Amino acid sequence: MNRVALILGVLLALPAGQAISALDEKSAKAADDLLRKSGCYKCHAPERKKDGPSLKSISEKWRGKPDAVSKLSIHVTTNPVVKIEGKEEQHEMLKLKSDSPDEVKNVVNFILDR
């Protein structure tokens, strides 16, 4: 399955703009493990800014916005260009175990739940 189909699967799996909050412990651990495996914590910390914004500040920025799930899903699956200290770099994609949209949805919900 290609990335576009994966993203569409995530978007169709949730009502517009709605994320599942209060992830159960197993889902939260799976999301945290995938963020670690993907190297996300090199640039993003849970509570404080590093090279990238904290997960908390990402959540505060996007929580409640109707396009939050779609924007974050696209961001973590497409290698967008981001600016870090004025320098443009490719943002890394999640290192997914499969092409399951559930993995992406779980990580996005984890971020929005911070």
Measured CA to CA, the distance from residue 75 to residue 56 in angstroms comes to 16
> Would residue 55 be called left, alpha or beta, if left means φ above 0 and alpha means ψ between -120 and 50 degrees?
alpha
In tens, the pLDDT along 1-19 reads 566 555 655 555 544 444 4
Highest CATH level, class, for 3-112: mainly alpha
Two structure tokens written together for 10: 């995530």
* Domain limits, the chain: 3-112
pTM of the prediction? 0.79
- The sign of the torsion formed by the CA atoms of 7, 12, 17, 23 equals negative
Quote the pLDDT of residue 84. 83
Amino acid residing at 45: A
